[in-house]
């Protein structure tokens, strides 16, 4: 056990799907896993271990933001022997080429903040996903006829609807990275995986669009992301 996880040794699978929302973890366990059991409830960060088509998988919620993701992915990798984490979350689109409910696979995550500096004295602001995991996810998407767009994202420290001047922030982003969407956890996951020599990937579903002035409800955010969930689970079968 750790200060933040009360799972016992052997409770956590080597492969973890990591939604931010604890209720999304519960939804996935109840609707996609067999023989699942709750393995963590500290701070209501719910986690469940079960099987999907015979493959043992843990679905572990991480909360919102890089500090929260950083704690949970570090402890899962370091103290529970997890080898691979696939974040499955929601994002906002900055490009008109992205539509509500599009499934995205993150190639690189850019952060303006100093997570890497704080953790590892490293002035790093962009980090890539595991090439191996992304290759498997892309192959699985083609096999299952799920459209999956590969993108680079901003990993922000503030929910972008609360930013006082979003245009100023967007103009500040390095143009060479072609950032087309935003979320709040992938950089911490990718960087922690790099430090601990583990693997990480991030699948996202577009739930709002600044470019098209569209968004979905909180209930839809929780339960209407099944293409992404199915793609992550089917990809796990190859790991």
Is 208 designated active site? yes
As given in the structure block, the two tokens for residue 204 are 């996202």
As given in the structure block, the two tokens for residue 148 are 């999956």
Supply the DSSP string of the chain, one letter for each residue: --SS--PPTTSS-SEEEE-S-HHHHHHHHHHH-EEEEEEE-GGG--EEEEEETTEEEEEE---SSHHHHHHHHHHHHHHS---EEEEEEEEEE-STT--TT-EEEEEEEE-SS-HHHHHHS----EEEPPHHHHHHHHHHHHHTT--EEEEEEEE-SS-GGG-S-HHHHHHHS-GGG-EEEEESSHHHHHHHHHHTT-EEEEEEEEEEETTTTEE--HHHHHHS-HHHHHHHHHHHTT-
Catalytic residue among 11, 21, 102, 208: 208
Bridge pairing between strands 15-18 and 55-60: parallel
Active-site positions read 208
């Amino acid at each position: 056990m750790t200060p933040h996880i009360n799972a016992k040794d052997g409770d956590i699978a080597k492969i973890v799907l990591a939604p931010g929302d604890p209720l999304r973890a519960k939804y996935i366990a109840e609707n996609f896993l067999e023989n699942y059991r709750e393995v963590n409830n500290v701070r209501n960060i719910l986690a469940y271990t079960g099987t999907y088509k015979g493959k043992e998988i843990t679905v572990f919620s991480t909360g919102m933001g890089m500090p929260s993701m950083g704690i949970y992915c570090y402890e899962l990798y370091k103290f529970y022997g997890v080898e691979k984490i696939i974040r499955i979350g929601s994002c906002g689109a900055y490009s008109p080429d992205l539509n509500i409910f599009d499934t995205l696979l993150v190639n690189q995550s850019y952060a303006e903040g100093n997570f890497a500096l704080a953790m590892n004295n490293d002035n790093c602001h962009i980090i890539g996903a595991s090439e191996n995991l992304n290759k498997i996810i892309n192959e699985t998407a083609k096999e299952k006829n799920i459209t999956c767009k590969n993108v680079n994202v901003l990993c922000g420290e503030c929910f972008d609807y609360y930013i006082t001047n979003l245009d100023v922030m967007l103009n500040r982003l390095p143009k060479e990275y072609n950032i087309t969407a935003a979320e709040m956890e992938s950089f911490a996951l990718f960087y922690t995986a790099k430090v601990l020599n583990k693997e990480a990937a991030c699948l996202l579903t577009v739930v709002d669009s600044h470019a098209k002035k569209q968004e979905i409800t909180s209930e839809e955010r929780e339960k209407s992301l099944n293409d992404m969930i199915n793609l992550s689970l089917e990809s796990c079968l190859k790991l």
